[in-house]
Structure 1
Amino acid sequence: MAGHTSLQMANAMEGVREQVVQQKQRLDNLVDEFSGLLEGLLKKKLYKLLSIVVNKVPGIVKSVLADPEMPMRLQKAQDAAIDAVWPDVQQEIMWELAVTMDGKVTQDLPEVRGCICCAFLRYHLYPFDRGFWGRFRDPVWILFTLIGLLPVYGISPGIFCVIFLVIDKTDEFQLVSFILEFKGFQYLTQGVIRSLMGYFMYLNCITAPGQAEDNCATNGPGSVAPTALVLVGYVLQIVLVWIAFVLLPFSSKKGRSALTGHLDQSPDSANMRGGYILYLLGYDLLTFIVCSGTLIYVLQLREWLLDDWMVKHAFFAVQMVHGYLSLPFFFFTIPLLRNILTHTAPTGYDRSGRCRRYDGVTRPPKPAAERGTSLPRVLEKAEASRILENLKRLLAGLHVRDLDTDPGPEAREASSP
């Protein structure tokens, strides 16, 4: 009889223990759910408040730049320029705020790896964990950059053809970066460097010999390199850029950070791939038509002889003018302007050749005393538990001084009936 009673008591105690564990688990789940809901509410309220503050920036900028002595038309043009640029600036600011407040820490990366050569070139040319000075110490990056600056024999387009074959053509930033870098190099190589070369080559073939007759027909600008080879390089640089333009609508933003879901912010819904760079598509087509039309006209005058010295000189000048006309693309390569005007998220490659979000320079870990200076969570679990407990007491008719204050046992006894 005593053994039966002991067994019943043990079963009862076990049942009570299970009930306590279940209630504790239920309370923990309730606290977690309440914490998530309250954190989302606080983030939305804070984000809305920051949005109101950010919207006041254009008016402040206009007030700072206002000058009573400025002509009225110039003042209106200045204000119109601020109004035109501000939506793109605002979008980038609000997205960065959303990522700071609600961004996911980790990034999902595919397990598929490319070939060893592609992975090697990808990481050394566009690493995800190095800045400019880190790449400047890389011999591979220096070699490709210096060779890409050579404006002779179609070498520069050949280098960029290799780069185009290597990069991930499914990522928006890689395509946009390729277009801007290629056209930016075209401005430097075909425009600036080629004009300097042309000047000194003319000086060499006219002034340096000190003779009545010059030898520019054989030693002048564009006369040394085979015209057919240079023409292939010229056409190749046009074709590569246009292929990248065509692939842009089918690309994705692999470098864009994801949100945890508390904020309903999407920077991609109203934007075309590439942003304002697509407006340069027609400009690039127009410059190509003008330059190629000029070359065709000269060829027609010289009976379509590619190796004619006048054709070579004209082709040299056409390439130089086309290079200078690529100047608008050069401005897009400035990092801050590039982010605002193209709305792209920077990406790079790891040592396996995978395209991923650009993390920048790897910095040493902070000391333990400085680790707490980063942005904390909006609501910790302990805070959510205290708020939930105070809400229960408030609904029970008890006095609560502050939702985030721990009532303590004395306050509970004092407020209990």
Structure 2
Amino acid sequence: MWISVRDRLARLIDLFWDDLTLYIESVVFDAQEQILNRAADHRALAELGPQPMCCGPRWLRAKLLYSYLPFDISIFGQIKSPFFLLLTVISITPMFGIRVAFFTLILLLIIAGRPPDEYQMVTFILTFKGAQFLSSGVFMACLAAVKYYMCVKPGGTHTCDTEGPGVSQDLVTSSVDFFGSCLLVWIAFLLLPCSRSFGGVRDIAEEKESKSEVSGCCHDYDPGRGGRLAGLLGYDLCCFLVSCGLIYYLTMLDVASRGELQNALDQDLLVDLQRWQFRSRVFFGRILYGLLSLFPS
């Protein structure tokens, strides 16, 4: 094995082992606190901040964030809530820019905390990439296979220009989903240094004392927020560029097959943006980007 690959694998294994050790220690500590009846996280966190007025803007914000990103409920408890299932369906809908619009709303609600919570920001990034893998990756790949099977007819004919994958989706909403999937997570990552950690029974007293001193979003700027997310976001950017490269490469292959001179090539390139083949290429670029999002999620 190459020395560079071996060293990188060794570092990844060490990082994974450290994270696993910390996770096991936290689980054991929480279990001990539960046995000794000293786990007061919920009561202490409930006392933080003023009580929002029922059905007011802050109440709606808290209700939506707690329903989708709760701090004290596992996934097995969340799936019992019909509201959570509805939000999950919305979050994995890749058509018409619905998924990007939903996560934009979630990000705005998190930022409205002033300063935003570090746990919620990190969870937002990981949840968004996981939803992208399921919707733009797995779901759209299955949809593309079914669409191609249905549009190819006996005798060598096809109706892929009207029934093919991605043909029915307009270029604007496809571009919103494609570029928004990269832009939103980077906005959240760049805002991480302005976030603060409000949860945890170990730090609850310090947070109560310092809460009154917070006067702005970046009052407590810390570039170390988010841990090793920088490497994952760098990988995500590379995946986005690879997907853009795939769309560009397929477009140039198709255009070059129809034009011989450079002028004709440039004219065909502009015309190609209106063809059904280009919408299909964007569709497959989104699939590739979604499938490659498995690692960051």
Q: What's the TM-score, normalizing by structure 2?
A: 0.70
- Given the superposition, is the C-alpha separation of residues 296 and 273 from structure 1 closer, same or farther in structure 2, using an over 3 Å criterion? same
Which runs of 5 or more residues in structure 2 are unaligned?
1-6, 206-221, 256-267
Match of 2:235 in 1: 283
Q: Relative contact order: is structure 1 or structure 2 higher (C-alpha 8 Å, sep ≥ 6)?
A: 1
- Given the superposition, is the C-alpha separation of residues 252 and 96 from structure 1 closer, same or farther in structure 2, using an over 3 Å criterion? farther
CA RMSD of aligned residues (A): 3.3
2:129–2:293 contact (8 Å) kept in structure 1: yes
- Distance in 2 separating the partners of 1:174 and 1:90: 23
- Distance in 2 separating the partners of 1:322 and 1:78: 24
Query: 1:213 is aligned with what amino acid?
Result: T
Task: Say yes or no: does 1:109 pair with 2:54.
Answer: no
- Given the superposition, is the C-alpha separation of residues 83 and 233 from structure 1 closer, same or farther in structure 2, using an over 3 Å criterion? closer
Percent sequence identity over aligned pairs:
32
2:69–2:120 contact (8 Å) kept in structure 1: no
Q: 1:168-216 deviations in whole A, cap 9, x for unaligned?
A: 5611111111111111111111111111100000000004xx3542110
Match of 1:131 in 2: 74
Task: Say yes or no: does 1:175 pair with 2:121.
Answer: yes
2:148–2:165 contact (8 Å) kept in structure 1: yes
Q: What's the TM-score, normalizing by structure 1?
A: 0.52
Shift of 1:104: 8.2
Task: Say yes or no: does 1:149 pair with 2:88.
Answer: no
- Distance in 2 separating the partners of 1:223 and 1:229: 12
- Distance in 2 separating the partners of 1:289 and 1:216: 27
Shift of 1:321: 0.7
Which runs of 5 or more residues in structure 1 are unaligned?
1-75, 262-269, 331-417
Task: Say yes or no: does 1:322 pair with 2:261.
Answer: no
What does residue range 125-274 of structure 1 map to in structure 2 within 5 Å? 125-168=68-111, 170-207=116-153, 210-258=154-202, 272-274=224-226
Match of 1:294 in 2: 246
1:153–1:229 contact (8 Å) kept in structure 2: yes
1:249–1:273 contact (8 Å) kept in structure 2: yes
- Distance in 1 separating the partners of 2:86 and 2:269: 41
The 3-state SS of whatever aligns with 1:256 is coil
Shift of 1:121: 1.4
Q: 1:84-110 deviations in whole A, cap 9, x for unaligned?
A: 544444445566777868x88444611
- Given the superposition, is the C-alpha separation of residues 109 and 224 from structure 1 closer, same or farther in structure 2, using an over 3 Å criterion? same
Shift of 1:256: 2.9
- Given the superposition, is the C-alpha separation of residues 77 and 230 from structure 1 closer, same or farther in structure 2, using an over 3 Å criterion? closer
- Given the superposition, is the C-alpha separation of residues 124 and 104 from structure 1 closer, same or farther in structure 2, using an over 3 Å criterion? closer
